[in-house]
């Protein structure tokens, strides 16, 4: 039973046949990616209760889904890298022996799709025809996954055509782990409710991804974090490119010159907001190429070129508003899937910090009646919207350029209330790699666990680097071995500084364009800067504060080198470095020692 097969690729046909025999679905459907197919799937999910269709006049062709309360975020403690050895996976990953893990999981998949349909999703990460685009095939029993993958990736017949009869693909096996017995009533969100029985497993040597038990986000949309970062980081190292947790934006100055900038921030630290920012500086324009992931290769000219492998936005809804990100709000006006937000009485959606009054009553993400006085949040803190990137009002004309765009600057950042200045520039590529390796942020709701604690998150890749992070640092350092002068400048930014009493020192959002302006000036060699122990900082008058309400005192605090804070920072960085043992490059230990010496002068 293969359904209506749409390929002549024998290895693909054989794999689907093997997985069909293992999972024992009632039906098999090969996804063609058409509008008609998508609509039919959405209609099926409305009928089953998985989707609620929103008011067509307010949100055309848009839907709301509510997940099971156990299935609301990435489950990092159930995410595994099954390389040949534990050392290859590194201390940054949960490792399991690949053969033992397959033996553990195969019984779970046996009959796991009984009573369900097995969907075959052909998808491509990156524009078809890109030199580093990768084709994957996801097998799933979740229509929610199919619908989201259709928005988030290039999906369907065009991918099958690009694969051809002999092409290779990355195997992605997913099941919600909820077989149906004859006559058993299904539920709107089937999944394995026990978090300890969920699995998100990567086999980098195959390469392949096996996911079981979760239907949510990066656990189930396997093109996203699983392929685009954990598997791709391994593939990229072998092939000589980079797979990074970075936004890509185009910043054009009043004279018409465009600078392409990538930025790595941990989840829920403002990547999407920055990628679609509306600058407050007159004459400056930002256009978006991607809000989450960048695949970066070296061009023939020695420069680094970035490409967004995704086709849509899977953004955090709470906190997104017309103030924080008007372009994201416009991106989700139609053809969007919302997950775990409030349903309003008029058939629209609402979430906390949306910038509009809460409805007098609504249905919360649990499916219960809710009012602003209920004492609980109406939307889950990690509630999401899935919207096509093409709908972004400021999508860049080159966002699907197969060659990518040349990078002028790389930014690292995080949510840090103290010590880390508003912006500083590295002395060199090696110092920039040190900055990225030392990055940390307060934890957020995008992953299960406590919020508000400092977590070292090097390069914002801690949950996503598919191999030993010490080796990952070393790989970044290799890019300076040739064409050093062609490499982008590296900066660290922190929009999240606070006073002792909790007041924000920097207004953020569109005002961040003032920092980006200085970064562009530094790229040109014209921006004013002072050399400090931690890097090049703007001089007091370097950042354009015209018509900006930041006081001179606050600006001085934002650009101050907090010596005591940095001494503590060095100790914390050193403790984190110790995790990587002999895999930590000596160049980074030297950078840490040099920073300490500069501070103690």
Catalytic residues: 269
Six-digit token string for 374 = 């209920």
The CA–CA distances, whole Å, from 489 to 261, 426, 499 equal 10, 8, 30
Contact 384, 217 (CB under 8 A): yes
DSSP alpha helices (H): ranges in 76-131?
86-89, 98-109
Residue with the two structure tokens 């001089």:
539
The CA–CA distances, whole Å, from 271 to 148, 391, 495 equal 20, 18, 11
How far, in Å, CA of 562 to CA of 530, rounded? 15
- Region of 141 (left: φ > 0; alpha: ψ -120 to 50; beta: rest) is alpha
How many other CB atoms are there within 10 angstroms of residue 595's CB atom?
Answer: 20
The CA–CA distances, whole Å, from 584 to 434, 463, 579 equal 11, 18, 9
Preceding peptide of 67 cis, ω within 30° = no
Contact 438, 426 (CB under 8 A): no
581's CB contacts (< 8 A; 6+ apart) are 470
The order of strands in the sheet holding 312-316 is: 51-53, 63-65, 337-339, 384-388, 312-316
- Region of 214 (left: φ > 0; alpha: ψ -120 to 50; beta: rest) is beta
**Count of alpha carbons within 13 angstroms of residue 321, beta-carbon side:** 13
Work out whether strand 134-140 and strand 170-175 pair parallel, antiparallel, or are unpaired. parallel
**Count of alpha carbons within 13 angstroms of residue 340, beta-carbon side:** 23
3-state secondary structure of 596: helix
């Amino acid at each position: 039973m293969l359904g209506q097969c749409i390929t002549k690729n024998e290895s693909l046909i054989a794999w689907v046949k093997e997985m069909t025999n293992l999972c024992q679905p009632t039906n098999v459907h090969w996804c063609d990616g058409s509008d008609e197919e998508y609509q039919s799937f959405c209609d099926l999910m409305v009928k089953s209760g998985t989707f609620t269709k929103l008011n067509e006049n307010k949100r055309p062709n848009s839907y709301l889904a509510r997940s099971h309360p156990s299935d609301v975020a990435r489950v990092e403690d159930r995410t595994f890298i099954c390389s040949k050895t534990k050392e290859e996976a590194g201390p940054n990953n949960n490792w399991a022996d690949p053969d033992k893990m397959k033996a553990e999981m195969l019984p779970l998949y046996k009959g796991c799709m009984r009573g369900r349909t097995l969907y075959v999703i052909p998808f491509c990460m990156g524009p078809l025809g890109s030199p580093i685009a990768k084709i994957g095939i996801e097998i799933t029993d979740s229509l929610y996954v199919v619908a989201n993958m259709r928005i988030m990736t290039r999906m369907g017949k065009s991918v099958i055509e690009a694969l051809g009869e002999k092409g290779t693909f990355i195997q992605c096996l997913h099941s919600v782990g909820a077989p149906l017995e004859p006559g058993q009533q299904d539920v709107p969100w089937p999944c394995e409710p026990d978090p300890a029985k969920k699995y998100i497993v990567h086999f980098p040597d195959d390469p392949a991804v096996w996911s079981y038990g979760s239907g949510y986000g990066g656990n189930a949309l396997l093109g996203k974090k699983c392929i685009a970062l954990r598997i791709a980081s391994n593939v990229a190292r072998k092939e000589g490119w980079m797979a990074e947790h970075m936004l890509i934006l185009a910043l054009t100055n009043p004279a018409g010159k465009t600078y392409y900038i990538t930025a790595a921030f941990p989840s829920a630290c403002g990547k999407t907001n920055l990628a679609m920012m509306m600058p407050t500086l007159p004459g400056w324009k930002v256009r978006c190429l991607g809000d989450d992931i960048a695949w970066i290769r070296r061009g023939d000219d020695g420069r680094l070129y970035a490409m967004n492998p995704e086709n849509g936005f899977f953004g955090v809804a709470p906190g997104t508003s017309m103030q924080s990100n008007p372009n994201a709000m416009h991106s989700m006006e139609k053809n969007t899937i919302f997950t775990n937000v409030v349903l309003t009485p008029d058939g629209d959606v609402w979430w906390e910090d949306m910038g509009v009054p809460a409805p007098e009553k609504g249905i919360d993400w649990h499916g219960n009646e809710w009012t602003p006085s209920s004492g609980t949040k109406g939307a889950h803190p990690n509630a999401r919207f899935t919207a096509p990137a093409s709908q972004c009002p400021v999508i860049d004309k080159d966002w699907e350029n197969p060659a990518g765009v040349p990078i002028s600057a790389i930014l690292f950042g995080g949510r840090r209330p103290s010590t880390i200045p508003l912006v500083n520039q590295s002395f060199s590529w090696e110092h920039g790699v040190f900055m990225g390796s030392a990055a940390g942020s307060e934890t957020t709701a995008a992953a299960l666990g406590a919020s508000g604690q400092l977590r070292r998150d090097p390069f914002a890749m801690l949950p996503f680097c598919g191999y030993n992070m010490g080796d990952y640092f070393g790989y970044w350092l290799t890019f300076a071995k040739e064409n050093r002068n062609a490499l982008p400048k590296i900066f660290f930014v922190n929009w999240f500084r606070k006073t002792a009493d909790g007041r924000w020192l920097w207004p953020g959002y569109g005002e961040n364009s003032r920092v980006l302006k200085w970064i562009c000036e530094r790229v040109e060699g014209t921006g004013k800067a002072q050399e400090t122990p931690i890097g090049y900082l703007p001089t007091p008058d370097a950042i354009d504060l015209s018509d900006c309400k930041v006081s001179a005192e606050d600006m001085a605090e934002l650009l101050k080198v907090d010596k005591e804070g940095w001494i503590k920072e060095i100790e914390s960085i050193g403790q984190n470095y110790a995790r990587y043992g002999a895999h930590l490059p000596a160049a980074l230990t030297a950078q840490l020692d040099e920073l300490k010496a500069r501070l103690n002068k």
